[in-house]
Amino acid sequence: MDTDYPMLNESFYTRNEVVRVAKDLLGKVLVTNVDGVISAGKIVETEAYSYLERACHAYMNRNTNRTQVLFERGGTAYVYLCYGIHRLFNVVTNVAGIAEAVLIRGVEPLDNIEAMTRRRALKKKNYSLTSGPGKLTQALGIKMEHNREWLLNKKVWIEDRGYVIAGDEIRESARIGVAYAKEDALLPWRFFLRENPWVSKGFNNYNL
């Protein structure tokens, strides 16, 4: 099984500007093939992280078992367990050796909504299906075993279906849940599509 759209290639991810990549991922489509079941959603919310700032797990090039994957080349998946419950999906960016990544925080369901609804144990589709970083990984079947997966391997990948995002469709804000990062928590490195109901909720979506 496959889709008929072009995958983002390695050079999209290896650019030396994680904030740019975070913005460019808006409107792209995150696809998974889990045991032959393909499901997909359009990316509507992202956050950038860099070794240069305190919110990043690899701040100051901290190299541990968990953060090693952040030093891989751009186009590698970084999945980690958050709060002991949720898996959060990131795309590693930049060249090997430079620890930067983009967290995917919201997608708009496109393909195989039935499978996603089932994985989320919802009775029917509603906005809680994929509007949050832990929700969308559950809906798309992303698990810890996808950590370190190469995004051109057609297990988990991102493709361009031609959605064009106008500049004034993009809103930005500080990142969510990183107050511990002190002044770096103020960086406007969260990006989302204006008035899109699949952006994560329960937080202050200022700049709307």
Whether 199 contacts 193, CB under 8 Å: yes
190 sits near DNA (criterion: CB under 7 A): no
Smallest distance from the beta carbon of 165 to DNA, in angstroms?
Answer: 21
Residue ranges in 93-152 that form contacts with DNA under rule CB under 7 A = 101, 103, 120, 128, 132-135
Closest CB to DNA among residues 8, 48? 48
**Binding residue for DNA (CB under 7 A) from 34, 37, 81, 95?**
81
**Binding residue for DNA (CB under 7 A) from 85, 123, 162, 168?**
85
**Binding residue for DNA (CB under 7 A) from 97, 202, 204, 206?**
202
Output the 3-class SS for the chain: CCCCCCECCHHHHCCCCHHHHHHHCCCCEEEEEECCEEEEEEEEEEEEEECCCCCCCCHHHCCCCCHHHHHCCCCEEEEEEECCCEEEEEEECCCCCCCEEEEEEEEEEEECHHHHHHHCCCCCCCCCCCCCHHHHHHHHCCCHHHCCCECCCCCEEEECCCCCCCHHHEEEECCCCCHHHHHHHHCCCEEEECCCCCCCCCCCCCCC
Whether 164 contacts 34, CB under 8 Å: no
88 sits near DNA (criterion: CB under 7 A): yes
Q: Which two tokens stand for residue 31?
A: 């696809």
Q: Which two tokens stand for residue 83?
A: 């709060």
Closest CB to DNA among residues 6, 63? 63
**Binding residue for DNA (CB under 7 A) from 37, 38, 57, 152?**
57
65 sits near DNA (criterion: CB under 7 A): yes
Closest CB to DNA among residues 14, 61? 61
* Count of residues touching DNA (by CB under 7 A): 35
Smallest distance from the beta carbon of 128 to DNA, in angstroms?
Answer: 5
Closest CB to DNA among residues 1, 180? 180
**Binding residue for DNA (CB under 7 A) from 8, 18, 19, 55?**
55
Give me the residues that bind DNA (CB under 7 A), please.
Answer: 47, 49, 55-57, 62, 64-67, 78, 80-86, 88, 90, 101, 103, 120, 128, 132-135, 175-178, 180, 200, 202
